[in-house]
Structure 1
Amino acid sequence: MVTRQPPTWLDPLLTRLGSARTEDFTRLPTPQRGGRESAVLVLLGEAHGAGPDVLILQRAATLRNHAGQPAFPGGAADPEDADAPATALREANEEVDLDPATVTVLAELPKLWIPVSDFVVTPVLGWWHAPHPVHPREPAEVAHVARLPITELVDPENRLRVRHPSGWIGPAFSARGMLVWGFTAGVLSALLDMGGWARPWRPDRVLDLPPVGASPAPSAGTDEADESALR
């Protein structure tokens, strides 16, 4: 029997998100006007016996922008999209063949601005109440899809920060052969803290990010080095 009711382990996160502000995710204020509206799907599920996880895709290495970078499913809003959840679910279907009917939308996070691309992104939190196999629908755009366990993301051995050649520095996760960084890692880092799942880790562990396929866009959860790189 499929239940749409989210599990109790999500309760602390949902309670905290009730008072979430943009400042909880980034020091960069979201402009009141302008910016291209977009949305991403932060899809939390639970595999049998493996605990909670989050769906992450890896973009194809041949893309002009964000080549090879792990990300949440999502993209720019279309005129026919009713709202941010509609955009996030549509994009997830187009990218990894996710059935929108298997997702219960739980919350919309504050809008976050990515200055370099001028996207105003609404992260949409979803509960995957009926998980099913997913795969890249367009291999030229999406190379890989994975469900990354929360236990692996919060493992201190899998947490670090990365330094982009531009001088940008931000949080990152190493899990299942993926190096998750940038906007996606920033949002994940904030949510893990809010949900009470984060464990102490060493933020002084900094890895230089290879320039090939890297994007200079700042992540959510920026620190002083992130902002100084934008001035």
Structure 2
Amino acid sequence: MTRNEQVAATREALLRAAERLFAERGVHAVAHRQISEAAGQGNNAAVSYHFGTKADLVRAIAHRHAESIERNRQRMLDTEGEFTDLRGWVAFAVRPVTEHLDSLGTPSWYGRFIAQTTGDPALRALTSEASSAASPLMGRLTEGLNRCLPDLPAEVHAERAAMTRHLITCMVAERERALADDEPTARTSWRTTADGLIDAITALWQALATTGA
């Protein structure tokens, strides 16, 4: 291997090890030394050398997956065109994520990694920043939902967008965990998991909005 190939292989091993440990134990419970050991690196400073801080490592993991999900979104738009109904835009939010999880095989850790990071305000800001940088098409999603629900108050729209993110995150993490532990799942595939999420989230956006203090 060339020097560049060795560096790339080491970075990949560290990313995969960190993602798994963060998903299984939580970000704050994992030290750089443990990541280096899990990646087969004898140098305990490998994480700092290749990525810097733990925050930089979290950002790198989130960005890598966000890029793949964004490619799925672009393919969906290229295939189906601009959506004209609410269910289409909800599918645009859901299917690129479940298709990415499907492509990772079993076991995977991305769903549980995101569930861990979104539970912490500081880490949520990091992953949101990394995902936003790699996901310009998310702006199209917001615009599409606004067009389908023009009378929905802005504060309710923001609230339901947050509910949508949490529902997708929690459900994909739960399915990923069950698959890794060889436990029964509610749905037989990632595609049908997406179907169930789209049903529920579409109904969520259509629910009567009660506003006021």
Do these two structures clear the TM 0.5 threshold for a shared fold by scoring above it? no
Say which structure is richer in helix.
2
Normalising by the residue count of structure 2, what TM-score does the alignment of the two structures yield? 0.28
TM-score w.r.t. the length of structure 1 is 0.27
Structure with more strand by fraction:
1
Q: Which has the larger radius of gyration?
A: 2
